[in-house]
Structure 1
Amino acid sequence: MKRNQQGFTLIELMIVVAIIGILAAVALPAYQDYTQKSQVSTALAEISAARSAYDVAFSEGRAGAFFTNANLGLAATTPRCSAVTVNAPAADGAQATALQCTMIGSGTVSGGTITLSRTAAGTWTCATSVAQKLAPSTCTGV
């Protein structure tokens, strides 16, 4: 009498486990990069809203003491920024570190900074201390 196969052999199960292990080894670093990139983008979004208020305050001729977190609608800390710094513009309106966030996050994002700078012409640029692969497309990283 012939017997039918009743389940998987040990070698078949080990092959499936090996394939799952290889997929996990490839996916985990990609997921970590994705998570860190979203943390940097969130930090940028949290300070970007103050650019308009900064421009308005400068165009109204506000004194340097006016340029504070509270007056520009920023909190001292946010869910992604352990510290938010605001620096008053120079007489021509330029400021190399107008708005800066010290980031909270995982991996290399933690403790990194994201900085919004303003030129005398009113153009804003973004720079960050994290790797370029984690920086938003509008920012330059290291």
Structure 2
Amino acid sequence: MIQIPSSKKGFTLIELMVVIAIISILASFTAPSFKRHIAKANLVDVVLYASTVTGTADEYIMANADFPTAEALESLLDSQVPEGKVLSTSVTRIDKEQGLIIFNLKDAIGIDEGATLTYSRNTQGVWQCQTTLATNVAPDNCQSSEV
């Protein structure tokens, strides 16, 4: 009977450490990108909610010829505030056709607590968005006030 010598198979500790180092380096390059994508994903619900709120405000203005108060707007909204994303919403009336709706955001990945989305309506009925979020995270329709 012939016996075949068995050879040891497997990775050495050095080989495993090199592989772990390479994976760590690759992960460090992709982490900021993931953070930005998660922040943008968290903002999708907020922007959709803001669109609903501004649309409801437009309907109120057409029906009442006056910019709504916070209470009037809240009573008309049947959609819920995005859970865990919007800290508060405030409404500022400038005149019968103009006003601001400010959404204060909660702390989340890539979003600092107290960051805002500010929608302002001009006399032509056009809504413009300003935000305190970083430019790379800000929604496409919002102008970032980041320096």
Q: TM-score band, normalised by the shorter chain?
A: 0.7 to 0.9
Percentage of identical aligned residues: 25
Which of 82, 85, 93 matches 1:88?
93
Counterpart Cα distance in 1 of 2:27 and 2:118:
35
Per-residue deviation, residues 97-127 of structure 1 (Å, max 9, x unmatched):
2x11100132443210001111110111111
Coordinate RMSD, CA, aligned: 2.5
CA contact (8 A) 1:118 1:125 kept: yes
Which of 124, 135, 140 matches 2:138?
135
Instruction: Using the TM superposition, give the Cα deviation of residue 65 of structure 1 relative to its aligned residue in structure 2, in angstroms.
Output: 6.1
In the alignment, what sits opposite 2:77?
Answer: 73
Counterpart Cα distance in 2 of 1:74 and 1:23:
45
In the alignment, what sits opposite 1:13?
Answer: 16
In the alignment, what sits opposite 1:116?
Answer: 119
- Structure 1 41/77 Cα, relative in aligned 2: closer, same or farther at 3 Å? closer
- Structure 1 65/125 Cα, relative in aligned 2: closer, same or farther at 3 Å? closer
In the alignment, what sits opposite 1:55?
Answer: 58
Letter in 2 for 1:94: Q
Determine whether 1:24 maps to 2:13.
no
